[in-house]
Amino acid sequence: MTAKPVRKRTFVKDGKAEDYGLLLGYARVSKGDDQTNALQTNALRTAGCRRLFEEAASGGRWDRPELHRLLDQLREGDTVVVWKLDRLSRSLKDVLHIMERIAKAGAGFRSVTENIDTTTPAGRMMMQMVGAFAEFERAMIRERTSAGLAAARAEGRIGGRRKKLDVGKRREIAESVIAGRKSGAEMARLYNISAPTVSRIVAQHRTASA
């Protein structure tokens, strides 16, 4: 659904009109489900959202166009509103990343059902905790990477860890994505590889099968 442009609303303070942020609603149902966004959009409008971003896509997918359009248009003072937290994503890692994007934009986040609101003092404290967990996760990844490289050097291997994907695993990744059983993001998380790596594996499989 294409969202219509909405001008920032104003209020008067000390005789001067000033802009304040918009409430931007995000609604999602899984692609292929019999559900509709009606329940979510009604709740979001009741919460005060004048602008809605709606789409049908799996919560495990990162490549959701309406979500990224929303994130790209965020401005300082805006608030992202969802009906439930899992509408944002079913992946904790993706939720942390999205929260970071929202915080960097100077915006807030609100979940109607869970009563989460980062525009309040308690909510801001939660956002700080989210950021701390995200930084901890990055530090752990760096530590594991360094340990892996050190182990590789100790074994006389150059270039880091051993190749982790054998022919069978690469075929399973490609066939799962091509058949639509799993998304590229889901296979990337399952095998602990990057999304571009999954894309290359799929492209190579298509070429070999042509």
The model's confidence at residue 20, banded by pLDDT at 50, 70 and 90, is low
Cross-strand partners of 26: 53, 82
Average pLDDT, stretch 31-40? 78
Cα–Cα distance for residue pair 59/64, rounded to 1 Å: 9
Told to judge if 146 belongs to the known catalytic residues of this protein, a careful annotator would answer no
pLDDT above 90 covers a percentage of the chain that reads: 26
* CB neighbour burial string for 169-192, b if at least 16 within 10 angstroms, e if fewer: ebebbbebbeeeebbbbbbbbebe
* Helix axis angle, 167-179 to 195-209, nearest 10°: 90
Half-sphere exposure of 149 (CA within 13 A, CB side): 7
H runs (alpha helix) in the chain: 38-46, 65-73, 85-88, 92-104, 121-154, 167-179, 184-190, 195-209
Per-residue pLDDT band at 34 (split at 50, 70, 90): low
Given 30, 89, 111, 176, which residue is catalytic?
A: 30
| 77: nearest Cα among 114, 27, 127, 24 | 24
- Of the ranges 13-22, 47-56, 195-204, which one carries the lowest mean pLDDT score? 13-22
**Interval 83-111: pLDDT, tens:** 998 898 887 778 878 888 898 899 999 99
